[in-house]
Structure 1
Amino acid sequence: MFTRQDLQDAILHITHPTFEEVALMVFKWQAIQNPLYSQYLSYLGVSSTQVTTLSDIPFLPISFFKNHTVLSAAPKIQTTFESSGTTGSQTSRHHVSDLGWYDQISTRIFETTYGELTNYHLLALLPSYLERNNSSLVYMVQQFIAQTRSPFSGFFLHNTDELLKVLQQIVRQADGRKIILWGVTFALLDLAESGRYKASEDLRDFSGLIVMETGGMKGRRREMLREEVHQILTEAFNVKVIHSEYGMTELLSQSYSEGEGIFEMSATMRILLRDINDPRTVYAPPDTKLRYGGINVIDLANIDSCAFIETQDLGRFIGQTGTQFEVIGRFDNSDIRGCNLLL
Structure 2
Amino acid sequence: MALQNNSPETAIRDSLRDRIITFKPENFDDLALDVFRYQAAFNPVYSQFIGALNVDPNKITRLTDIPFLPIQFFKTHTIRTGNVAVTADTIFESSGTTGLNTSRHHLYDPELYKLVSERIFQLNYGDLNRFHILALLPSYLERNNSSLVYMVQHFIARSGSEHSGFYLNNPQELLEKLKFLSQNPDGKSVLLLGVTFALLDLADSGENMSFLQNLDKLIVMDTGGMKGRRREMLREEVHDILTQELHVPVIHSEYGMTELISQGYSHGNGLFEPGNTLRILIRDVNDPLTISDHNPDKTKTGGINVIDLANLDSCAFIETQDLGRFGDAPGTFYVMGRFDNSDIRGCNLMVL
Query: Into which bin does the TM-score normalised by the smaller protein fall?
Result: over 0.9
What's the offset of the Cα at 1:193?
1.4
Matches within 5 A, 1:267-278: 267-278=276-287
Partner of 1:151: 162
Provide runs of 4+ in structure 1 moved above 4 Å: none
What is the RMSD of the two structures over their aligned residues, measured on CA atoms? 1.4
Q: Contact 2:298 / 2:326 at 8 angstroms: preserved in 1?
A: no
Letter in 1 for 2:165: G
Partner of 2:89: 78
Structure 2 vs 1, CA of residues 289 and 229 (structure 1 numbering), >3 Å: closer, same or farther?
A: closer
Partner of 2:101: 90
Partner of 1:323: 331
- Distance of 1:144 and 1:341 partners within structure 2: 22
Please, which runs of 5 or more residues in structure 2 have no aligned partner? 1-8
Letter in 2 for 1:167: L
Q: Contact 1:120 / 1:180 at 8 angstroms: preserved in 2?
A: yes
Can you list the C-alpha shifts for 1:166-202, whole angstroms capped at 9, x where unaligned?
Answer: 1111111110101000000000001001232xx1463
- Distance of 1:200 and 1:289 partners within structure 2: 38
Q: Contact 1:296 / 1:310 at 8 angstroms: preserved in 2?
A: yes
Letter in 2 for 1:117: L
What's the offset of the Cα at 1:263?
0.3
Aligned equivalent of 2:187, options 176, 185, 194:
176
Letter in 2 for 1:24: L
What's the offset of the Cα at 1:208?
2.8
Matches within 5 A, 1:251-262: 251-262=260-271
- Distance of 1:88 and 1:179 partners within structure 2: 38
Q: Match of 2:232, SS?
A: coil
- Distance of 2:219 and 2:210 partners within structure 1: 19
Please, which runs of 5 or more residues in structure 1 have no aligned partner? none
Matches within 5 A, 1:243-322: 243-288=252-297, 291-319=300-328, 321-322=329-330
What's the offset of the Cα at 1:121?
0.2
Letter in 1 for 2:171: T
Q: Contact 2:281 / 2:305 at 8 angstroms: preserved in 1?
A: yes
Q: Match of 2:211, SS?
A: coil
Partner of 1:63: 72
Percent of aligned pairs with the same residue? Answer: 59
What's the offset of the Cα at 1:136?
0.4
Partner of 2:227: 218
Structure 2 vs 1, CA of residues 289 and 240 (structure 1 numbering), >3 Å: closer, same or farther?
A: closer
Q: Contact 1:257 / 1:263 at 8 angstroms: preserved in 2?
A: yes
- Distance of 2:200 and 2:299 partners within structure 1: 33
- Distance of 2:19 and 2:218 partners within structure 1: 36
Structure 2 vs 1, CA of residues 232 and 305 (structure 1 numbering), >3 Å: closer, same or farther?
A: same
What's the offset of the Cα at 1:132?
0.3
Q: Match of 1:245, SS?
A: strand
What's the offset of the Cα at 1:50?
1.9
Structure 2 vs 1, CA of residues 152 and 54 (structure 1 numbering), >3 Å: closer, same or farther?
A: same
Q: Contact 2:194 / 2:221 at 8 angstroms: preserved in 1?
A: yes
Partner of 1:335: 343
Matches within 5 A, 1:121-200: 121-196=132-207, 199-200=208-209
Partner of 1:235: 244
Count of residues paired in the alignment: 340
TM-score (norm 1): 0.96
